[in-house]
Amino acid sequence: MNKHDRIYIAGHRGLAGSAIWRRLEAEGYDQLIGATSSELDLRDRDAVFAFVRDQKPDVIVDAAARVGGIQANDTYSAEFLSDNLQIQVNLMDAANAAGVERLLFLGSSCIYPKYAEQPIKESSLLTGELEPTNDAYAIAKIAGIMQVQASRKQYGRRWISAMPTNLYGPGDNFHPEHSHVLPALMRRIHEAKVAGEPEVVIWGSGTPLREFLHVDDLADASVFLLENYDSPETINVGVGEDLSIRDLAELIAEVVGYEGRLVQDATKPDGTPRKLLDVSRLNDLGWHARIALRDGIAETYAWYLEHLDQLRTR
């Protein structure tokens, strides 16, 4: 890429997209293109084709998706499958029609089998059954990887896909039911502290192991990959370390300053028992995550407090 490339970031107001926008801007890229969901519904095929044709981007970053935690994925699986398929198919078909040569598709670590060997290598894709609570979302993202590979093969595009682990950071969705585990826990623990409640209930057994990547690290990795990576095989983006949900809750409580009890509700689903990505391929290229989890949680909590009256709660 060069600093004057026209770069369209789909989902530029979301957690990942906004971080990538900030990172590209800081790097001196001066032709960034964005459109809010009210300005462009990526499920509207004709509108997407017209937008890409008119804007003539040199590079597209697909950070747009319908996302949510276990409950949202499990409850609205039809919408998660349909919306995400439409978004990425419309965007990639429009990019092919317009001859866009460089595209980065962002997926999710949930694409890998529920019982994949740990840490999970990229070669584990399609080798086993998916976690049923988010299999619809995972299938959509797998289809996106396949479309990237098919476009490379058929049209010779230099398109790539990257699979980040669980993301968190400033700009996250803090909805008490539809958000991912880290922001959901942060909100619940903060509200319990403010209300003086003696305990906070945590879904599941607390034993599942998860890896967490600060969104600014993802943004840094995304720009690095656009500048340095060109392969049909998807590539993992993570930190290479994990911890239990219980340990995560205790760490958040420490940062928030909550001294009440943390109680597990084992009747609620755990999801995949462990999901640690093998990031050796990305590390071998020269990229490593930089933001320690405690530091990232402290930064995210400070942002949360500053934006309490304007948080995204959808």
Measuring CA to CA, which residue among 200, 203, 209, 175 is closest to residue 266? 203
Report d(CA 289, CA 56) in Å as an integer: 33
Residue 219 assigned ligand-binding role: no
Residue 158 assigned ligand-binding role: no
pLDDT in tens, 252-284: 999 999 999 999 999 988 877 899 999 999 999
Long-range contacts of 172-177 (CB under 8 A, 24+ apart): 172/15, 172/215, 172/300, 172/312, 173/15, 173/67, 173/68, 173/312, 173/313, 173/314, 174/304, 174/311, 174/312, 174/313, 175/312, 175/313, 175/314, 177/69, 177/71, 177/72
pLDDT in tens, 118-139: 999 999 999 999 988 889 999 9
pLDDT in tens, 159-172: 999 999 999 999 99
Q: 2-11, 27-36, 69-78: which has the minimum mean pLDDT? A: 69-78
CA atoms within 13 A on the CB side of 182: 28
Residue 287 assigned ligand-binding role: no
274 phi/psi in degrees, rounded to 5: -150, 145
pLDDT at position 198: 97
Q: Report whether pLDDT(312) > 90.
A: no
Catalytic residues: 137
pLDDT in tens, 139-157: 999 999 999 999 999 999 9
CB 208 within 8 A of CB 162: no
191 phi/psi in degrees, rounded to 5: -65, -35
Residue 40 assigned ligand-binding role: no
Q: List Cα–Cα distances, 254 to 22, 67, 213, 241, 303, in angstroms.
A: 29, 28, 19, 20, 17
Residue 165 assigned ligand-binding role: yes
pLDDT at position 314: 45
Confidence of residue 100 (pLDDT cuts 50, 70, 90): very high
Measuring CA to CA, which residue among 180, 208, 168, 209 is closest to residue 292? 168
Cα first-last separation, the chain: 35
Residue 222 assigned ligand-binding role: no
Q: Report whether pLDDT(76) > 80.
A: no
Q: List Cα–Cα distances, 189 to 59, 70, 95, 167, in angstroms.
A: 41, 19, 43, 19
Residue 13 assigned ligand-binding role: yes
Residue 169 assigned ligand-binding role: no
What's the gap between Cα 118 and its chain centre?
20
210 phi/psi in degrees, rounded to 5: -135, 155
User: In this structure, which topology does domain 7-171+211-240+275-290 adopt according to CATH?
Assistant: Rossmann fold (3.40.50)
Residue 281 assigned ligand-binding role: no
Residue 152 assigned ligand-binding role: no
